[in-house]
Amino acid sequence: MSAHEYAHVWQAQHHRDYAQTKPILREGFAEWVAYKVAQRHGRQDQMTVMMNPNGGDYYLGLRKFLELERQRGVEGVLTYAKKATKI
């Protein structure tokens, strides 16, 4: 959970229009960061829970950011998270 919250702080500090971003963008990015931390530490159980379709914006946003990562890579995700207002 702390990775998720840290991601909110990071995004708020780096996005000039953070207050205008959609919840799915904010929560999706934060979940993506938490997912990447879980992945790095081999926490498959946590990753499985995060992919629960009943997770609302958290799940939907995570799925969108994982797809964005497949298309643009990690740097592309970070750039998107700093500039976009919706996903």
Residue pLDDT, tens place only, 15-48? 999 999 999 999 999 999 999 999 999 999 999 9
SS3 assignment, position 84: coil
Dihedral over Cα of 87, 2, 33, 78: its sign = positive
Tokens of 32: 């993506």
Confidence of residue 9 (pLDDT cuts 50, 70, 90): very high
Q: What global pTM score does this model have?
A: 0.94
